[in-house]
């Protein structure tokens, strides 16, 4: 039990993480764009593919639909409702409708992303 006089650090918004779904080799097999696409489509999502160049930044914004951002290649830093997530190949995160979020391409490699929504 912590000492009642001890002050534990409070994480800042950028230190709080969002649940990220990670690619599981044992269950999902070899990661690929077609495998990630098939997985999301099997869950009832409609997909669009985008490529974002290094240095791309999306400022805070919202969407009127629930969506998933999935990464095929590259690294994507997302902040959703103040919570941080870093996605790499095969990773995806759910972004609820109306959630304030931003995104930044990390590193020197473009991000290939699948944007998924349910209609």
pTM greater than 0.75 (yes/no)? yes
Largest interatomic CA distance in the chain: 54
Please state the domain extents for the chain.
Answer: 13-117
Q: Report the residue count for the chain.
A: 119
Query: If you classify domain 13-117 with CATH, what class do you get?
Result: mainly beta
pLDDT above 70 (res 3): no
Q: 41-60, pLDDT tens digit by residue?
A: 999 999 999 999 999 999 99
Helices (H), the chain: 25-28, 33-42
């Amino acid at each position: 039990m912590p000492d009642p006089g001890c002050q534990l650090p409070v994480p800042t918004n950028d230190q709080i993480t969002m649940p990220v779904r990670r690619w599981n080799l044992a269950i999902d097999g070899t990661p690929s764009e077609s495998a990630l696409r098939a997985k999301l489509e099997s869950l009832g999502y409609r997909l669009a593919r985008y490529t974002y160049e290094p240095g791309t930044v999306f400022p805070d914004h919202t969407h009127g639909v629930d969506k998933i951002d999935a990464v095929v290649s590259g690294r994507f830093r997302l902040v959703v409702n103040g919570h941080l997530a870093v996605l790499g190949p095969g990773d995806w995160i759910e972004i609820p409708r109306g959630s304030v979020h931003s995104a930044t391409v990390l590193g020197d490699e473009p991000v290939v992303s699948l944007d998924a929504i349910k209609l």
